[in-house]
Amino acid sequence: MLLAFDIGNSDITMGLWREGTWQVWRIPSRTDQPELFYGIKVRDYFLESALATDTVETIVVSSVVPGLTDKLKNVVRSLFKREPIILGPGVYEKLPIEVLNPYEIGSDLVANATAAYFKFKQTCIVVDFGTALTFTTVSGTGKIIGVSIVPGLRTALRALSQNTAKLFDVPLEMPKSSLGINTVTAIQSGIVIGYEGLVKHMVQTIRHELQTESPAIATGGLSFVITSLKPFFQVVDPQLTLDGLRIIGELMKNGQRS
């Protein structure tokens, strides 16, 4: 079995790959929590699922939160008695994809690009709906051509509610109309419908620059929020990042580049 950790700014997504499918758990990303907190969480998930830690053969970690990387690395060493593969420039150079600015790019974007390259084998645009909304364009030859980043849906919503005295947090749901009739629907209209236009325009701008109708692939925990975008994407795959980590783990284990 293979275990993958995608450490993001909001959550740690922990995925166990077995029998051709993912079993997924989430842990809040809290840099103020001690290493023991994460160790107990991971151990309890395995106990609740009646899983033995010694059956895990490969562990891959992607982290965009430096304050959590070492904590999870130590948890892995303690619970699984294995050295994890930590995504970074040293790993990138062994992969069959060409990574743009390896010391700057988020490792989750590299995982996305890897999965897209292996699954589609053509130039495509990965739209990741997470804490940040990212657009990663990867060529059919495996080169990351470019990345665009804007605040994610929940990040924009939180910024609005926290910085405006009379507004408050609202559910991230597609409103029935663009004409908000109260505070909740007004915010939903502006954020959710507004981001629909943002996503479409960004993808269309990238396609225009590439001069090709590259397919767009959606991933991330919020990829299902803007329901009207579903037909716009060739695929909506919330586990794309985990699949990228799995592919990278298998390549590193087998010592292969393709």
Sheet with 124-129, side-by-side order of all strands? 144-151, 132-138, 124-129, 216-219, 235-236
Distance CA 5, CA 65 (A): 12
Residue 147 identity = V
**70 is an active site residue:** no
Cα–Cα distance, 92 to 86 (Å, whole number): 10
8 A C-beta contact, residue 241 and residue 6: yes
Nearest to 134 by CA among 146, 149, 115, 151: 149
Choose the catalytic residue: 6, 11, 70, 108.
Answer: 108
Closest by CA to 4, choosing from 22, 30, 20, is 22
Please give the positions annotated as active site.
108
